[in-house]
Amino acid sequence: MCLLADNIAKLSIFAQILEKMFSSAIRSFLLQKQYPFFHPKAVFFDMDGVLFDSMKFHASSWVKAMNAVNIPFTKYEAYMNEGRTGHSTIDDVYHRLLGRGASEEEKRKIYSLKSAYFEACGPTPKMAYAQELLDKIKTKGYDIFLVTGSGQPTLINSLQEHFPGVFQKEKMVTAFDVKHGKPAPEPYLKALQKSGVCPWEVVVIENAPLGVEASVAAGLFTIAVNTGPLEPEVLAKNGANVVLDSMEQLFREWEPFEDSWK
């Protein structure tokens, strides 16, 4: 009985510490943006590395596709470039290595190789606790949007199959909807426009440095979940308001997060 009381007390202290961490992040956000208040009505989800545990497949596919045309490329670079559209990633590498942009033909060839390698990886697993978090958020009445730099049709199409009844087409922004993908703010600004809510009424869930950069540039409160191999400091440096270790942590800490602004 004593042990139970002790554990309850410890949990309560832990919840208070979390609430303080979230409150402090929200205070800094409001001060910096000069918004009137923070009261989320919508949650914008990135897809790869957040809803799907797909980044390991993307990273190895990028390395194989680049190496196939004799371009050195590492998995770490793939993680650092995550969020960009495929063509932009290829263009960026060409600029860095060859001092020129890639031609349309080069971009088409490398991206189709990358897509083929990705398809060959087989079915992409859901990220652990993505379903649980979506269920919780949906039950609580938040509007749910998808904002992805992906142009991988199989993944986008399989959202319905993996997360039935959660994502509607009119509540998605993909690589096909934007001129300037992440790290530009356009995908998040487009989602903001579609949702009809104010910037202080949104929470973004991202895992990639460039995704965080895009969301922050759009003026949105950004929670980074570090589901890949990057150092958490990289996500904080790119402007994430809060950095958590996993989707499981975000699922478990959603209530202390709500308590900090409600």
Nearer Cβ to Mg ion (6/245): 245
Q: Which residues bind Mg ion (CB under 5 A)?
A: 46, 48-49, 207-208
Nearer Cβ to Mg ion (90/147): 147
- Cβ 54 to Mg ion shortest distance, Å: 8
Report yes or no: 168 and 175 within 8 Å, Cβ to Cβ: no
- Cβ 49 to Mg ion shortest distance, Å: 4
- The CA-atom distances, in angstroms, between 189 and each of 12, 197, 243 are 38, 11, 22
Report yes or no: 220 and 242 within 8 Å, Cβ to Cβ: no
CA atoms of 235 and 65, how far apart (whole Å): 26
Nearer Cβ to Mg ion (211/219): 211
H/E run at residue 92: helix 86-98
Nearer Cβ to Mg ion (111/200): 111
Residue nearest to Mg ion (CB): 49
Report yes or no: 222 and 91 within 8 Å, Cβ to Cβ: no
Report yes or no: 152 and 121 within 8 Å, Cβ to Cβ: no
- Cβ 82 to Mg ion shortest distance, Å: 5
Nearer Cβ to Mg ion (18/202): 202
- Cβ 157 to Mg ion shortest distance, Å: 18
DSSP 8-state assignment for residue 46: P
- Cβ 55 to Mg ion shortest distance, Å: 7
Nearer Cβ to Mg ion (48/201): 48
Contacts of 7 (CB under 8 A, 6+ apart): none
- Cβ 14 to Mg ion shortest distance, Å: 28
Strand order in the sheet with 172-173: 172-173, 143-147, 42-45, 202-206, 221-225, 242-244
